[in-house]
Amino acid sequence: MMASQEKKEQKGKRRGKQSVAYECPVYINASACIAGKKEGEGPLAELFDMIGEDDLFGCNTWEEAESSLQKDAVYLAMGKAGLDSREVQYLFAGDLLGQSIATSFGIMAYEIPLFGLYGACSTCGESLSLGSMTIDGGFARNVICVTSSHFASAEKEFRNPLEYGSQRPLSATWTVTGSGAFVLGKERGEHVRGAITGITTGKIMDYGLKDSMNMGCCMAPAACNVIYQNFIDFGRQPSDYDKIITGDLGSIGQRALIDLVAEKGYDISDNHMDCGMQIYDSKTQDTHAGGSGCGCAAVTLSSYILKQIEEKKWKRVLFIPTGALLSKTSFNEGKTVPGIAHGVVIESV
Amino acid sequence: MMASQEKKEQKGKRRGKQSVAYECPVYINASACIAGKKEGEGPLAELFDMIGEDDLFGCNTWEEAESSLQKDAVYLAMGKAGLDSREVQYLFAGDLLGQSIATSFGIMAYEIPLFGLYGACSTCGESLSLGSMTIDGGFARNVICVTSSHFASAEKEFRNPLEYGSQRPLSATWTVTGSGAFVLGKERGEHVRGAITGITTGKIMDYGLKDSMNMGCCMAPAACNVIYQNFIDFGRQPSDYDKIITGDLGSIGQRALIDLVAEKGYDISDNHMDCGMQIYDSKTQDTHAGGSGCGCAAVTLSSYILKQIEEKKWKRVLFIPTGALLSKTSFNEGKTVPGIAHGVVIESV
């Protein structure tokens, strides 16, 4: 048994330092996303499944509102996949709030075994990585990966009370109010959107930056590491991907990333895209460097990216949600803001 | 390919609603734990690898101290396993602090690809579950699972400033200052301590309790669900386990658990043990209901439980770290305190 498993590993799964390649594609059989009012006024609005009329979504607190986003995104995604919650073996879920309370109170009612995750805004990539490994490893037939963020609960958690109306520097990003849920399956579903064929898992990278209002630059080294390592581990070039898509670097972080990757000998300036730069119209929506948050990458993946893959406009993308690892406490204690990123290779099927 | 994978799943891995049984044992090749001064005065002290002289461990803040606990536990565990960090494919890590900052700043230096987890005090079980699946699935040869908690950083995060000297009710538990790290491997190591042979993954259970000073009772329903489902999924009885070990229910939560499991038709009163009731001497150490925190289950597993398994005094245990899902914000907004638990079957080899 040991021998056959070893052989399997060498043949198929493990690739280099940080990557795994799946023997069979892990299907993204359905997805759904819900977003807030501001996102609903942005360029991707017509692709969202649901848009809130206001950002409380009928709840009493911002945190409850964020929980309801996760709940509804999971509900819609399960419906599209034609699945009952009893047919889903695991939930992989997370958010940005302390002790992940948006998740705890959001997805409780489904009674699905839960793995709670924290990777800051990279959590969407982390959930798709662990979810797809769980399917490929033969531990589950269907799993759901869900993440969320909410502008107001995040400002309360990380920065100042909204009532202060604090000014934000141009390098700052705007936390997306939204949630995206993805149903991964071993068998190809009727309305399959794409497939995960491999992952490149990130490590924490710290270049010593401390500016929490310039998270794009704090996260760029982590994204660079994942992109570079993905090229090495899979023996690929930038041109092997139709798009290389980061989560929420924003316009300032994008410049840093392209420069960092260039130092490693690769030019990604032609096919790099950042979810944070897609979800808002920065000229008219006053969002400065772009969107951010666990919801940013998740909503953009469900609405825009998977549509291009479904329609085969893009054959293969490297999707890399990026996270800035900080808390109120770490910021107040003068710590740096390290970054982490999780790469997922998504292909059309 | 699909057919052979399907066959494998039906034959071996998936068991019932919430469980997985591994085809080959996943070896716990090494472990290490570090604890604070108070824990070092308790009944398990002589089994700890390292005990701090004071709870700052030479650092400037409680959070940095907690980070150093994780760093040192991982260092010791890797050393015992004879591994270099480059031979470890993944870290599964978490703690109790907002945005998991003890982890972020603790294990960064190892440059190992990281999956950050949040399951409150159940995180040790969650990390062992995902870590062992990753090994069994053929995605890694070696992974490390590490979790921590710190009395002072937790009081600051969840309750009152220590300087207030607030009184605590008798149902309250004392957050353990400590960290435990576990090296899981596909191949049996020279100093193997035991093996993980299956897991039962918990879902969030909420009986509507709101008393964060009685977390044992908040978590008991989640522990009950995992224990009951483990019996059903594996076709086992309480007597199939030498011990059924919860993480940090404490003496009040233990009574609730034994009653809840009895309602399901099983008597675990003879072989139930709770890590929180082992780590302190409640009569002399003024810890009330017992110990708690991510570190409680991790330190007790590394020091006491694995010793019994290594020496074959216990052949098989069901280890179930338990977590209470709350934050300052959820508490202040009047939310309940739901629980979650993650069961891991550990056997002697």
Alpha carbon distance B123, B110 (integer Å): 20
Distance of CA A119 to the CA centre of its chain: 10
**Hey, is the C-beta of B157 within 8 angstroms of any chain A C-beta?**
yes
The rounded Cα A126 to chain-centroid distance in angstroms is: 8
Q: What is the pLDDT of residue A11?
A: 54
Cβ atoms of residues A308 and A314 within 8 Å:
yes
Confidence (pTM): 0.96
Q: What percentage of residues in chain B have a pLDDT greater than 70?
A: 97
**Is A326 in contact with B137 (Cβ distance < 8 A)?**
no
Distance CA A143, CA A148 (A): 17
Residue B312 contacts A, CB cutoff 8 Å? no
Q: Cα dihedral sign for A147, A151, A154, A158?
A: positive
Q: According to the 3-state scheme, what is the secondary structure of B32-69?
A: EEEECCCHHHCCCHHHCCEECCCCCCCCCCHHHHHHHH
CA distance A84 to chain B (A): 14
What confidence score (pLDDT) does residue B11 get?
Answer: 55
**Which amino acid appears at position A295 of this protein?**
G
pLDDT at B93: 98
Distance (Å, rounded) from C-alpha A321 to C-alpha A247?
Answer: 4
- Residue A331 touches chain B, beta carbons under 8 Å: no
Please report, for residues A143, B4, B23, B231, the alpha-carbon distance to residue B9 in angstroms, rounded to integers and kept in the order given: 15, 9, 10, 20
Whether residues B99 and A333 touch (CB distance < 8 A) is answered with no
Q: Which residues of chain B have pLDDT under 70?
A: 1-12
Q: Please return the burial class of B85, using the count of CB atoms within 10 Å of its CB with bins 0-12, 13-18 and 19+.
A: middle
Tokens 């009330």 correspond to what residue?
A: B288
3-state secondary structure A289-307: CCEECHHHHHHHHHHHHHH
Q: CA–CA distance from A308 to each of A80, A292, A313, B101, B202 (Å)? A: 18, 21, 5, 36, 36
Residue B63 Cα distances to B71, B97, B142, B154, angstroms? 12, 8, 28, 9
User: Residue A104 has what pLDDT?
Assistant: 96
Q: What is the DSSP letter of A49?
A: S
Nearest of A169, A195, A213, A179 to residue A106 by alpha carbon: A179
| CB proximity list for B7: less than 8 A, separation 6 or greater | none
**Cβ neighbours, 10 Å, residue B340:** 33
pLDDT at A2: 41
pLDDT value of position B5 = 44
Q: Give the containing element (helix H, strand E) for A230.
A: helix A215-234
Q: Distance (Å, rounded) from C-alpha B294 to C-alpha A84?
A: 33
Q: If we measure between CA atoms, which residue out of B66, B50, B49 comes closest to residue A333?
A: B66
Length of chain B measured in residues: 349
> Do B275 and B296 touch, CB atoms closer than 8 A?
yes
Could you give the CA distance from residue A149 to residue A196 in angstroms, rounded to a whole number? 23
A108–B327 CB contact, under 8 Å: no
* B248 touches B342 (CB < 8 A): no
Query: Residue-wise pLDDT tens for chain A (349 aa)?
Result: 344 444 444 456 999 999 999 989 999 999 999 999 999 999 999 999 999 999 999 999 999 999 999 999 999 999 999 999 999 999 999 999 999 999 999 999 999 999 999 999 999 999 999 999 999 999 999 999 999 999 999 999 999 888 888 888 999 999 999 999 999 999 999 999 999 999 999 999 999 999 999 999 999 999 999 999 999 999 999 999 999 999 999 999 999 999 999 999 999 999 999 999 999 998 999 999 999 999 999 999 999 999 999 999 999 999 999 999 999 999 999 999 999 999 999 999 9
- Give the position of tokens 């759904």: A32
Q: Which residues of B touch A197 (CB under 8 A)?
A: none
Closest to A71 (Cα-Cα) out of A61, A57, A82, A86 = A57
Q: Which of B 65-84 lie inside 8 A of A, CB atoms?
A: none
Return the ∠ at Cα B2 (arms to A348 and B3), rounded to 5°: 160
What was the pLDDT predicted at B165? 87
Interface of B with A in 251-310 (CB under 8 A): none
Gap between the Cα atoms of A124 and A10, Å rounded: 28
Chain-chain contact of B119 with A116 (C-beta, under 8 angstroms)? yes
What is the interface pTM, i.e. ipTM, of the complex?
0.95
Residue A345: which H helix or E strand, with range?
A: strand A339-347
Q: What confidence score (pLDDT) does residue B12 get? A: 63
Q: Do B114 and A203 lie within an 8 Å CB cutoff?
A: yes
pLDDT value at position B39? 98
Taking the CA atoms of residue A69, residue A74, residue A77 and residue A83 in that order, the dihedral angle to the nearest 10 degrees is -160
Question: Min CA distance, B173 vs chain A (Å)?
Answer: 18
Give the residue from chain B lying closest to A327, CA to CA: B99
CA distance to partner chain A, nearest, from residue B341 (Å): 9
